[in-house]
Amino acid sequence: MRILITAGGTREYIDPVRFISNASSGKMGYALARAALKAGHKVTLITALTSQKPPGAAKLVNVETAAQMFEAVKKHFSRCDCLIMAAAVADYTPVRPAGTKIKKTGKSMTIKLKPTTDILKWAGKHKKVKSKKVKSKRQIVVGFALEDKAIRVRAQKKLKDKNLDMIVANSPAAIGADKSNIQIKIPNSSWVKIQNATKAAIAKKIICLTEKLHLTTFK
């Protein structure tokens, strides 16, 4: 397969030196890229800034902001068989970033935010579902759901609302950790639970499941 993977946490700039971001390390996305390459797939890795070392065989696309990540996904999406959105994309971005560094005044300051584009929802809406020759799914879209409560309920809602083929649910404890607990759901299948596993092992399982989805797609 040609697999498109996103990784890392985006930066939404307030001014040229300050930004809103999150604690994503990029470990999961990079582990997925390595697992996909090891399984023989072609990988394009769209990555926000991270300290992770990129796999040499992957095509690397560097971005910083949610808007840049969206543009990169749009550019490469039509040529992929599977998109795995492992990046922690900001939900909001400043309405009017300052062009110069904001000076300290000692007074309170309010920053107005606006929603960013929901990249995962866009992909679920625009994935190729049918062709003239083969009436079957042509692209697989995998999303992640990081939830601090009602994990399965919220993840399953995301799976349905965003028209995904797979959702990987985890908790905030997974951020930056080498090992984590995850739960995976594919429509019309039971939950798959993986506990205290390395991100390399989790990535291998996710790639294996996408391979199975890809095979059933073309039966």
- pLDDT value, residue 170: 94
Q: Is residue 106 part of a domain?
A: no
- pLDDT value, residue 103: 94
DSSP 187: T
Q: Is residue 30 part of a domain?
A: yes
- pLDDT value, residue 98: 96
The Cα–Cα gap between 14 and 12 comes to 7
CB 179 within 8 A of CB 199: yes
- pLDDT value, residue 138: 77
Q: How far apart are the first and last CA of the chain?
A: 15
Q: Is residue 157 part of a domain?
A: yes
Q: Is residue 197 part of a domain?
A: yes
Task: Give me the catalytic one of 22, 62, 163, 181.
Answer: 22
- pLDDT value, residue 38: 98
Q: Output the CA torsion 35→38→42→46 (10° steps).
A: 30
Q: Is residue 105 part of a domain?
A: no
- pLDDT value, residue 132: 53
Catalytic: 22?
Answer: yes
- pLDDT value, residue 133: 57
- pLDDT value, residue 165: 96
- pLDDT value, residue 129: 81
Q: Is residue 107 part of a domain?
A: no
- Number of folded domains that form the chain: 1
CATH of the domain at 180: 3.40.50.10300
- pLDDT value, residue 216: 80
**pLDDT under 50 in the chain at which residues?**
none
Q: Is residue 108 part of a domain?
A: no
Tokens read off for 210: 């996408």
Q: Which domain holds residue 29?
A: 2-100+113-217
Q: Is residue 174 part of a domain?
A: yes
